[in-house]
Amino acid sequence: MASPSSATSLSSTDPTGDARERPPVGLLVLGILTGVVFLGPFAYVVSRNVDLGTDLGSIIWSADTWEPLRRSLWLGFMVSATSVVVGTGLAWLTIRTDLPGRRVFRILAPLPLVFPSFVGATALIAAFATGGLAEELLSPIGIDSLPDMNGFRGAWLVLTLFTFPYVYLPVAARMASLPPSLEESARLLGRSPWGVFRTVVLPQVSSAIWAGALLVFLYTISDWGAVNLLRYDTLTRDIYADRLFDQPRAMGLALVLGVVALIVVSAERSLDRRRQRVEVVRTRAALIVPLGRWRWPALGGVVLVLGNALAGPVAVFVFWGWRGIRANSDTIGLGTDLGELVTPAVHTAQAGLITAAIAIAVVLPVAWLTARYRSRVGGAANSMVVAGFALPGVVIALSIVFWAIDAPIIGRWYQTFPLLILAYVLHFGAQATRAAHVAVGAVPERLSDAASTLGAGRVRRFFTIEIPLMTPGLLAGAGLVMLSTMKELPATKILAPTGFDTLATEIWSAGESGALAQGALASLALVAVSAVLTWAVVLRRLDHY
């Protein structure tokens, strides 16, 4: 065991990293297998295009494709940019400063991710539309014209408010594990808090920021719920509009979306390969920066963001629930309606937790290949896993129907729990893989090498040294997967076992039958369940590291 590990420690001092050690065969096989499974949705889209005889040329060279594609990319870029600012800022303020109430904000900050975007858009429309709630509240004080939230502006706002946790969680996890020494030196040299943040903290978290920004981008270009309700005509909105009666076009556009995602993912990966790797082991508690006179303005900013992303929607739901219960006290009762939400809440938690654990386990070999060995095979598998996130949920779900229903053995699992979990993992594996990549990158090879020299075996090193060091990063990834799974709708509706209602499906069916109050109660339950789980699974442990 001594000779390969000494090779590792030699190459780790080589910044170009080209002369790397070859990865173990077992790990390569796992990586290839993962890549092949995640290829499923893409293979389905390609196969449908072939079957339908899609005239791809006329789709690609049509303004009817370019315009929605341009809007998708523009929206994706803008939402990513604002999410980076909001997510990184919140992470720094809540983890590294003496911001008042930071412990509470740490629990609240990831939660906006749990709102399905159609729910967030509905709340925004209810609040800001002509004659909506905000107008009712503001007209007495003389404000009676509100900005029009339809189109780009509304979609940008809603998607930023509900996706910035993709940046917040990995960055917060990273910041929580940074060693304080550099920052201490910088402060001793007289740098302001902002200066310390810019010159010391930011470079060390840039990999996590990029990871989050990529997820926001991919989520945005695959989103249908918000852009549909707010009427911003993106590629995904066209895919949905044409999915039944113009299938060649829908599938052609899905292919365009998938290829665009692959290009973006590969480009980001090649940038990431060039970024310097920061290996960190924390020996002491993270440094807390005193905000001084910036304390209250900073608090104001945090309250503004979380007020709009969390308190605002919650207020709208409380209002709807309360109004519905008052108006129809004979048909809607707080006790009975909340009682009916218990089983869906349990299903939601179950799906979220199991998917998160399996997603982490599945993507860890790929992350190991890319972060430790910079393997090309690992890179290809990684691109498959990550780009899958850009395909709309309904496409992922149908691809599983397509591959599984006629397959021997697996076909019998159709509409059972394991295939549902597989769909979730295929859809959200990207969120785990980028976080896992960052986590593996945080493990100093020399530590593992030292343990190996001392006679620790591979398995023992993994569990005693590497897992504890990776835990913050892995938990951040698990938290993202968990929250995304808990709000997932299209795959749940197509693949869940019959009768497996989740809170997301309850919200959807309440919306379909116009039962605003029940939908509001289910939304509140979803926020409550995710708050408890986020705290119990992710944040409570993050605090210990």
Partner 1 sequence: MKTPLRILTALLALTLLATACGDDSGDSSSITVYSGRDQDLIEPLLEAFTAATGIEVNARYEGSADLALQIQTEGGNSPADVFISQSPGALGLLAGEDRLAPLDSSLTGLVDPGYAASDDTWVGITGRVRVIVYNSDLVDAADLPATVLDLTDPQYAGQVGVAPENGSFQDFVTAMRSELGEDATAEWLAGMAANNSPNYPKNSAIVEAVGRGEVPLGLVNHYYNLRALEADPSLPSVNHFLDAGDLGSLVIVTGGAVLESSDAKSEAEQLLAFLLNEESQAAFAAGTQEYPLLPGVAAPTGLPALEGYATDTIDYSVLGDGLTGTIELIRESGLAQ
We find the least distance from the C-beta atom of residue 237 to partner 1, in angstroms, to be: 8
We find the least distance from the C-beta atom of residue 387 to partner 1, in angstroms, to be: 22
The count of residues in the chain is 545
We find the least distance from the C-beta atom of residue 498 to partner 1, in angstroms, to be: 5
What are 331's two structure tokens? 């048909």
We find the least distance from the C-beta atom of residue 355 to partner 1, in angstroms, to be: 10
Nearer to partner 1, 322 or 417 (CB): 417
Amino acid at 151: G
Nearer to partner 1, 270 or 328 (CB): 328
Q: Cα-flanking dihedrals φ and ψ of residue 55, to 5°?
A: -85, 85
We find the least distance from the C-beta atom of residue 210 to partner 1, in angstroms, to be: 27
List the one residue out of 92, 116, 114 whose CA is nearest residue 105. Answer: 92
Contact yes or no for 409/478 (Cβ under 8 A): no
What are 401's two structure tokens? 């129907």
Nearer to partner 1, 89 or 225 (CB): 225
Nearer to partner 1, 9 or 47 (CB): 47
Helical H runs in 247-391? 247-274, 295-306, 312-327, 334-339, 342-368, 376-387
202 Cβ contact partners less than 8 Å away, ≥ 6 residues apart: 88
289: β partners: 97
Residues 241, 351, 31: CA angle, nearest 5 degrees = 85
Amino acid at 41: P
Helical H runs in 15-151? 25-52, 56-60, 63-96, 102-108, 117-128, 133-138
DSSP secondary-structure letter at 497? P
Nearer to partner 1, 263 or 405 (CB): 405
Handedness of CA 439, 384, 85, 226 (dihedral sign): negative
233 Cβ contact partners less than 8 Å away, ≥ 6 residues apart: 67, 68, 71, 227
We find the least distance from the C-beta atom of residue 365 to partner 1, in angstroms, to be: 14
We find the least distance from the C-beta atom of residue 416 to partner 1, in angstroms, to be: 4
We find the least distance from the C-beta atom of residue 434 to partner 1, in angstroms, to be: 20
Nearer to partner 1, 181 or 328 (CB): 328
List the one residue out of 175, 188, 214, 191 whose CA is nearest residue 89. Answer: 175
Residues of this chain that interact with partner 1 (CB under 8 A) are 64, 125, 129-132, 228-229, 231, 233, 241-246, 324, 327-328, 353-354, 357-358, 361, 394, 398, 401-402, 405-406, 411-418, 421, 463-464, 467, 490, 493-494, 497-499, 509, 512-517
Amino acid at 381: A
Amino acid at 145: S
242 Cβ contact partners less than 8 Å away, ≥ 6 residues apart: 249, 250, 253
Nearer to partner 1, 85 or 361 (CB): 361
We find the least distance from the C-beta atom of residue 245 to partner 1, in angstroms, to be: 5
Nearer to partner 1, 250 or 380 (CB): 250
CA distance 94 to 105: 7
Nearer to partner 1, 402 or 535 (CB): 402
We find the least distance from the C-beta atom of residue 519 to partner 1, in angstroms, to be: 11
We find the least distance from the C-beta atom of residue 186 to partner 1, in angstroms, to be: 36
Nearer to partner 1, 64 or 279 (CB): 64
Amino acid at 32: I
Q: Cα-flanking dihedrals φ and ψ of residue 97, to 5°?
A: -125, 175
Nearer to partner 1, 64 or 98 (CB): 64
